[in-house]
Amino acid sequence: MNILLLNWRDPKNPKAGGAEIVTLQHAKAWVQAGYHVWWLASSFKKALREEKIDGITVVRRGIV
């Protein structure tokens, strides 16, 4: 199964907070269960456009 998360920020965003922490925990559990998880978030200064975090593919787009 594929899961797409849409969230304003991702865990590596300097302004990330509780919502990103909780969402990351859910996403990690889904990865451990065998799901493919993508997290689409806004970009920030010096951010990679795409990277893996704990098995989750994080895709960043938008104006910094």
Contacts 24+ apart (CB under 8 A), 17-22: none
With 0-12 / 13-18 / 19 or more C-beta atoms within 10 angstroms meaning exposed / middle / buried, residue 59 is: middle
- What pLDDT was estimated at residue 37? 98
What is the Cα–Cα distance from 33 to 50, expressed in whole angstroms? Answer: 22
- What pLDDT was estimated at residue 44? 96
- What pLDDT was estimated at residue 64? 67
Taking phi first (over 0 means left), then psi (-120 to 50 degrees means alpha), and beta for anything else, what does residue 50 get? beta
pTM of structure: 0.92
Beta strand pairing call for 50-53 and 56-61 = antiparallel
- What pLDDT was estimated at residue 63? 76
Low-confidence ranges of the chain (pLDDT < 50): none
